[in-house]
Structure 1
């Protein structure tokens, strides 16, 4: 494995997102002096927060899988969840899915619970099919995780030069993992709507299930078989805990510090310059900025990248007297439209051909149903359902996510379009039984592709480059920067890719590029433990 050239005692990490914090923890554990610079006033990056007048809400990812990767990063400096005050709860169901005819099903990671749920709604034959599908997904994940996701590549030829990687590659070929994910899941599952539950995750990789390779079965495996978790206090609690572990171990994190440039001598970075006029000397730099923002630091990004679809996300609060009448009570609800394949054709289209969903499939997130400390009591006079005058109204935080095309696929005027499109989405939900959402959802933050573009994200998407074959694995943007001896990339735009588990791995892989073998880290623990749990069933 190639590593940065020359000394690497002092490392500056640009960005306190999960990849930057993971890199910093692994580097600190390896004895480096680490300074993390973050332009926001809090850690988390895309796993950040929005502040309302009397509440906070996650501003990015709300789905946590493979929490062992957090443990691994903390363990690099001798910390544990307990030592940094992080509590992570398993969620059952991980999702509640609802279909266009009003029927629904819970998604459980426990195989017996999931089989029972499928038997309830579709019968024992489909439950048997589910177990076969689960076994196939497990085998794909096992072959892929250690040798492709959790591994640095110096060249695509590593897949055949390295004996273990070659063996894993042969296994994936035998499994049919280089065919298409959606059709494979459909054949194994049989029922089209149930198949959606184990293939919609391809969207996380920027692809439709119909187009995504079967190797991306690792994503629904993590999602539906290894379990979805919730960190108490919200996803932002993970970044806060990692920050505490880092600073207690001697690392430095500076917030509200924007990096405006990297000084270099020849091929080597020598210092990092900040907007407040300071210069920090360094021996190596980890850059976690979005792949669309690398030019800010004098770095070239790969041309011709195809971006993932984007999203419109509304954050706010709603009275619980409204939500208690809704047809679904779940932390995560996926409300599917009828036209499933057309949805992906619309939002994942090629350049200039994208359109908004004609029959939306939407994600509603209600974290207070898991964490009651997130409820908000507001002093408001109100007549309750029993006809009594009350002085306090209880609200819950609510996020609504609607996938949409990125700005390359559909260069829409979101300043003009956003308010009317949001009204349209709320009216769709109203018709589907979420009564009162269009009148009572108080929206404090609305993110659109323009939001993401203003933050420097590729084509206005928070999901970075799509995982086309030519943009995945050893073909993805490398974490070693060509023409720079001591600058390394981390984050969703580089290896291994998009998602909370993968960006945590990305930080570790970036650290390995600087220090070589991470002997302080038990690199296989999260994978081994997760698979052991799965194999019990």
Structure 2
């Protein structure tokens, strides 16, 4: 039996109205708890919040954080907890292709999530042997997901011993504890396909040749389950969750930053926070803390002891660009791969240097929702992985503007000339992530190394505080929108003791205990 917060838990304060906090709130509300959410910004979303870029031609509505949305059934679960339906609050568009992958040799592969369409794409671009390998890869990723999603990703763990059982044996037999890169290479001899089905491990902070095979589940989410985009931008995800929470009785206080916890006898009794009249306090029976780990440790007053310090994921530079003219030739998501591969990971993870031959994610949200930019304009998001501040000694105040120009030059060399068409730009660097409270200047938190995975990841419980629980990407199960939404449910379950009920998207009724 997993740990449940003892004693009274009628009123729960959730710190942070990001996706983790909002997921927590909805699952708590569904279990009959009174919920108050404190959010330091003037809007919901956290990393998935909002960034408005204003120019003489109008306003561009950019997404400052994640741009890839997968596993919308997890949103269904959160809405269903309070009796709502996701499609009545959020208009999601399934992207086809999910990505367009462009390579240094000039070739292009459209990544489609439909099995037959992708098999034909692979057969046409890489040959029949590669198509057969893709079908084996798809079957393997699907089996990984089926074994992992409930038992390993979607459950609270109080001890590594709790994982021992038939599912652990199945995961081991599938190669979940072997290395991802070599496993993918055995099934897909074409290096381009190897990249498409393994680059996602960088989201978990580990290069493919070092990542556990279990992290192939991220590739399942991207390349099989499907990639979606909400009309109105990614900010609509958080806003729709917040609206549902308020409709179900939650109080959300914006512009209120938590500053500390009051405690008595090992329990948190109130959360101190900023307010219109200075410092205020909010009594509670339990608290859920969702900011990044350094902020959580400041609130608690200490960091937990670990035999080895946490290792942080690589960071990212993000260039937001408003363009004056349409770019219909660009897909919604384009992955522009450089010729280098292993060297790229070595540079940003081991050497603490910028990529000499960068691989980039270029997102054009206006391909799906033109209303995100002024009429006749285009909005782009360019993400370049880079070292975090703990591992790279880069002076971003000095290097940032030059790196912006370098990224624009790289894009131009790859057939995406933007410089003469720029209306407005905004550059986000690791220094900006650090200023927002993210450890080591990375929005991807703790890396998913073997020693920081599953029950070895920072727990969602706080030693010495029996009614404090964590949620968010710094705790279990980890980084990315699907894990963060799950972390909210897991935090709620620590308080309510409720069993997980999976909801189907079609019927929206419980399908299991």
Same fold (TM over 0.5): yes
C-alpha deviations, 1:145-189, integer Å up to 9, x for none? 1100000001111012xxxxx111101111112110011101111
Query: d(CA) in 1 for partners of 2:485 and 2:505?
Result: 12
Q: Tell me the equivalent position of 2:78.
A: 73
Shift of 1:444: 3.5
Asked if structure 2 preserves the Cα contact closer than 8 Å seen for 1:69 and 1:526, the reply is no
Q: Tell me the equivalent position of 1:523.
A: 502
Shift of 1:440: 2.4
Q: Tell me the equivalent position of 1:203.
A: 202
Asked if structure 2 preserves the Cα contact closer than 8 Å seen for 1:145 and 1:527, the reply is no
Shift of 1:75: 0.6
Find the residue that maps to 2:384 and give its secondary structure. strand
Find the residue that maps to 2:97 and give its secondary structure. coil
Shift of 1:525: 4.2
Shift of 1:456: 1.4
* TM-score after normalising by structure 1: 0.90
Shift of 1:231: 1.0
C-alpha deviations, 1:181-222, integer Å up to 9, x for none? 011101111111111100000011001001000000111011
Query: d(CA) in 2 for partners of 1:11 and 1:527?
Result: 31
Asked if structure 1 preserves the Cα contact closer than 8 Å seen for 2:324 and 2:423, the reply is no
Asked if structure 2 preserves the Cα contact closer than 8 Å seen for 1:477 and 1:493, the reply is yes
**Equivalent residues in 2 for 1:53-452, closer than 5 Å:** 53=54, 54-83=59-88, 85-160=89-164, 166-276=165-275, 277-302=279-304, 303=306, 304-321=309-326, 323-324=327-328, 328-349=329-350, 353-377=351-375, 394-435=376-417, 437-452=418-433
Unaligned 5+ segments in structure 1 are: 161-165, 378-393, 533-537
C-alpha deviations, 1:42-76, integer Å up to 9, x for none? 10111111012223111100001000000100010
Find the residue that maps to 2:47 and give its secondary structure. coil
C-alpha deviations, 1:369-395, integer Å up to 9, x for none? 111222413xxxxxxxxxxxxxxxx21
CA pair 258-527 structure 1, distance change in 2 beyond 3 A: farther
Shift of 1:319: 2.3
Find the residue that maps to 2:134 and give its secondary structure. helix
CA pair 142-130 structure 1, distance change in 2 beyond 3 A: same
**1:486 maps to 2:490:** no
C-alpha deviations, 1:16-38, integer Å up to 9, x for none? 00000000000011010000010
Find the residue that maps to 1:147 and give its secondary structure. helix
Query: d(CA) in 2 for partners of 1:135 and 1:93?
Result: 20
**1:499 maps to 2:500:** no
Asked if structure 2 preserves the Cα contact closer than 8 Å seen for 1:66 and 1:526, the reply is no
Query: d(CA) in 1 for partners of 2:314 and 2:41?
Result: 25
Query: d(CA) in 1 for partners of 2:425 and 2:271?
Result: 35
Q: Which of 451, 465, 468 is 2:446 aligned to?
A: 465
Unaligned 5+ segments in structure 2 are: none
Q: Tell me the equivalent position of 1:380.
A: none
Shift of 1:263: 0.7
Find the residue that maps to 2:143 and give its secondary structure. helix
Find the residue that maps to 2:445 and give its secondary structure. coil
CA pair 412-528 structure 1, distance change in 2 beyond 3 A: farther
Asked if structure 2 preserves the Cα contact closer than 8 Å seen for 1:146 and 1:527, the reply is no
Shift of 1:315: 1.1
C-alpha deviations, 1:431-462, integer Å up to 9, x for none? 11112x12323443211110111111111100
* TM-score after normalising by structure 2: 0.95
Asked if structure 1 preserves the Cα contact closer than 8 Å seen for 2:198 and 2:208, the reply is yes
Number of residue pairs matched by the alignment: 498
Query: d(CA) in 1 for partners of 2:496 and 2:254?
Result: 25
Asked if structure 1 preserves the Cα contact closer than 8 Å seen for 2:60 and 2:322, the reply is no
Shift of 1:527: 13
Query: d(CA) in 1 for partners of 2:446 and 2:371?
Result: 36
CA pair 206-524 structure 1, distance change in 2 beyond 3 A: farther
